[in-house]
């Protein structure tokens, strides 16, 4: 049975995937587009680089801090309702950003965008879990993953073209009609996502984990702030203790009893960390050593994004049939090999290495999500989705911080950075191969010759 046939088995299923891809795309592309706007913003607001960077930092901190809470709220009030609310918040914040008269107002708009993005992204996994049975989710998750991979790379390229043609304000204003389209289409095609579980929100947990994650993000997005990780660790430790005593914890303990969630979720997070570190190495080589700009970096990364986009739906389809463990193991091995290939002195290996890394990314993204929620009860999926996305965001920031710290010692340190990324990737490959069970779908058994 083809991927397309699977997606149209339930009414509106294909339309739901389209809407969720579009919603994820607009969030992801705005998370990567700011780097090409920095020169224009410094001129427009007559501001220094440190001040302008808060246009990026404000988004990241708000986004990372609220993913867990937004996932839980999706379970309480319905994922479609949270998705729609998040899209509206994102649209209004984009409009405010495009019309911002001064830098503080733009930073505030970006924080609001981060809030909206945090409301949107966890609901995509929850809604796919509601629309598709466990043995049919991989293909849909593959399409969403492919969209996010493409958006991460197209952000600098498309954003650069928009800034050069119409100005930086249109990078934000163009989001408004896209968000309106998502709202209209979601109301028509996206189901409610099952029965909302109305429990009392863990307010203390929201404050503790939100503050702790915000401090973690603050520590990792800038230089010289790593000491902030100490109070962040303290807040998270208090949060864990709080969760053990709360009758309706923000992070239900039953989620952590599922081995698939722990192993697949960890591999998915590691993949994001390795990918972020690799993208930083690409940026350093293109913009630092070769004198290019952010658009050149985006173009250099395009083979990786295209490879990930092509492979991800196929990997998701395969994970429905044979389980995600072997696929993720192969993916992390390809990602590690791609990192090593990129670090080789011969620049002729760059395109092939990045394409191989993209194949690895495509092999991991959808199966990681599929396996993480495969064994979870439906009412646990919203909370799990928020935790998975939080782990991935934190791993991305950590990957940039670690590899940035190594790479700042000059080109001679790049092989060391690549070796660290490859070692982590290969260790994850071993975990995927041996720690996850092999699943075979009913269709695979029925169609076996």
Determine how many CB atoms are found less than 10 A away from the CB of residue 46: 9
Q: State the Cα–Cα distance between residues 54 and 115, nearest whole angstrom.
A: 15
Q: What is the mean pLDDT of residues 256-275?
A: 94
Check pLDDT > 70 for residue 328.
Answer: yes
How distant, in Å, are the alpha carbons of 321, 350, 438, 443 from that of 318? 5, 28, 12, 12
Is the CB of residue 222 less than 8 Å from the CB of residue 57? yes
Return the structure tokens found at 425. 């990737």
Return the structure tokens found at 313. 């739906």
Q: What is the percent of the chain with per-residue pLDDT over 90, rounded to a whole number? A: 62
Residue 375 CA, distance from chain mean position? 22
What DSSP character marks residue 168? T
How distant, in Å, are the alpha carbons of 125, 225, 297 from that of 356? 26, 34, 17
How distant, in Å, are the alpha carbons of 67, 71, 248, 321, 324 from that of 82? 12, 9, 20, 31, 29
Determine how many CB atoms are found less than 10 A away from the CB of residue 165: 8
pTM over cut 0.95: no
What DSSP character marks residue 410? -
Return the structure tokens found at 312. 């991800």
Q: Lowest mean pLDDT of 35-39, 143-147, 428-432, name the range.
A: 35-39
Per the listing, tokens 């100005």 go with 167
Tens of pLDDT along 67-118? 999 999 999 999 999 999 999 999 999 999 999 999 999 999 999 999 999 9
Q: State the Cα–Cα distance between residues 338 and 277, nearest whole angstrom.
A: 12
Q: State the Cα–Cα distance between residues 447 and 2, nearest whole angstrom.
A: 13
Tens of pLDDT along 405-445? 898 887 788 889 999 999 999 999 998 888 776 654 444 43
Tens of pLDDT along 346-369? 655 788 999 999 999 999 999 999
Output the pLDDT for position 153: 79
Check pLDDT > 90 for residue 381.
Answer: yes
Check pLDDT > 60 for residue 2.
Answer: no
Q: Lowest mean pLDDT of 278-292, 299-313, 340-354, name the range.
A: 340-354
CATH class of 13-201+250-441: mainly alpha
Return the structure tokens found at 191. 């189901």
CA dihedral sign, ordered 159, 161, 167, 170: negative
Q: State the Cα–Cα distance between residues 174 and 376, nearest whole angstrom.
A: 38
């Amino acid at each position: 049975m083809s991927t397309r046939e699977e997606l149209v088995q339930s009414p509106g299923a294909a339309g739901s995937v389209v809407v969720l891809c579009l919603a994820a795309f607009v969030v992801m592309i705005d998370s990567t587009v700011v780097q090409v706007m920095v020169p224009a913003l410094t001129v427009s607001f007559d501001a220094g680089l440190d001040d302008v960077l808060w246009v990026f930092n404000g988004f990241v901190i708000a986004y990372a801090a609220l993913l867990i809470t937004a996932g839980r709220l999706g379970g309480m009030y319905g994922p479609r309702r949270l998705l729609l609310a998040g899209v509206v918040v994102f649209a209004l914040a984009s409009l405010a950003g495009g019309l911002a008269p001064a830098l503080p107002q733009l930073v505030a708009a970006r924080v609001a965008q981060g809030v909206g993005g945090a409301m949107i992204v966890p609901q995509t996994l929850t809604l796919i879990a509601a629309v598709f049975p466990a043995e049919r989710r991989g293909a849909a998750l593959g399409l969403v993953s492919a969209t996010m991979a493409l958006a991460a790379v197209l952000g600098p390229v498309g954003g650069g073209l928009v800034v050069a043609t119409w100005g930086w304000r249109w990078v934000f204003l163009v989001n408004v009609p896209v968000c309106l389209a998502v709202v209209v289409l979601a109301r028509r095609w996206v189901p409610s996502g099952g029965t909302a579980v109305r429990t009392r929100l863990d307010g203390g947990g929201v404050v503790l984990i939100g503050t702790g994650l915000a401090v973690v993000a603050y520590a990792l997005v800038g230089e010289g702030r790593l000491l902030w990780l100490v109070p962040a660790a303290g807040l998270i430790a208090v949060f864990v203790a709080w969760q053990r005593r709360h009758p309706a914890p923000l992070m239900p303990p039953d989620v952590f009893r599922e081995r698939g969630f722990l192993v697949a979720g960890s591999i998915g997070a590691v993949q994001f960390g390795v990918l972020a570190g690799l993208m930083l190495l690409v940026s350093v080589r293109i913009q630092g050593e070769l004198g290019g700009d952010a658009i050149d970096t985006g173009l250099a990364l395009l083979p990786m994004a295209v490879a990930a986009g092509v492979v991800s739906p196929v990997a998701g389809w395969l994970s429905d049939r044979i389980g995600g463990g072997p696929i993720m193991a192969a993916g992390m091995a390809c990602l590690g090999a791609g990192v090593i290939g990129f670090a080789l002195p011969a620049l002729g290996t760059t395109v092939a290495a990045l394409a191989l890394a993209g194949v690895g990314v495509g092999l991991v993204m959808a199966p990681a999500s599929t396996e993480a929620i495969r064994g979870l009860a439906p009412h646990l999926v919203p909370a799990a989705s928020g935790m998975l996305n939080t782990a991935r965001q934190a791993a991305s920031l950590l990957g940039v911080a670690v590899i940035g710290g190594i790479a700042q010692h000059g080109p001679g340190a790049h092989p060391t950075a690549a070796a660290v990324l490859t070692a982590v990737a290969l260790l994850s490959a071993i975990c995927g191969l041996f720690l996850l069970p092999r699943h075979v779908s009913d269709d695979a058994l029925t169609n076996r010759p």
